[in-house]
Amino acid sequence: MKGSLDEALKLRLKTMIFTECDIEDLKPEELDDDIVLFSDASPLGLDSLDALQISMGLQNQFGTRIVDSKEFRRHVTSINALADFIQPE
């Protein structure tokens, strides 16, 4: 199943992001799957330190390593995009 169709995977990704980035103002379930994570429109207020934390969380929890910043920006745009990267089919 493609990651963006897997609700459990998307919730797991959201929970990981909220935990790694110490986000307490929202609940993972309240985050829209298509919102651009690193943008002014995002309610998360993520920065480059958060990107590093997310990268480490992806490696620890999913065995996925993204070391190149350009690759990170390509795949970690939204929850749906990230889910599809983790689970392409």
Tell me the per-residue pLDDT of 54-83, one tens digit each, with 9 for 90 and over.
999 999 999 998 878 888 888 899 999 999
Q: Which residues contact 61 (CB under 8 A, 6 or more apart)?
A: 12, 16
- We report the CATH number of the domain holding residue 56 as 1.10.1200.10
* Count of domains forming the chain: 1
Q: What pLDDT is stored for residue 66 in this prediction? A: 85
Q: What percent of the chain has pLDDT over 90?
A: 80
pLDDT (0 to 100) of residue 74: 86
Residues of the domain holding 18:
3-86
- Of 12-16, 67-71, 83-87, give the lowest mean pLDDT range: 67-71
Amino acid sitting at position 20: E
Q: CB-based contacts of 77: which residues, under 8 Å, 6+ apart?
A: 36, 37, 38
Confidence of residue 9 (pLDDT cuts 50, 70, 90): very high
Whole-model pTM? 0.91
Task: Judge residue 30's burial from the number of C-beta atoms within 10 Å of its C-beta, 0-12 exposed, 13-18 middle, 19 or more buried.
Answer: exposed
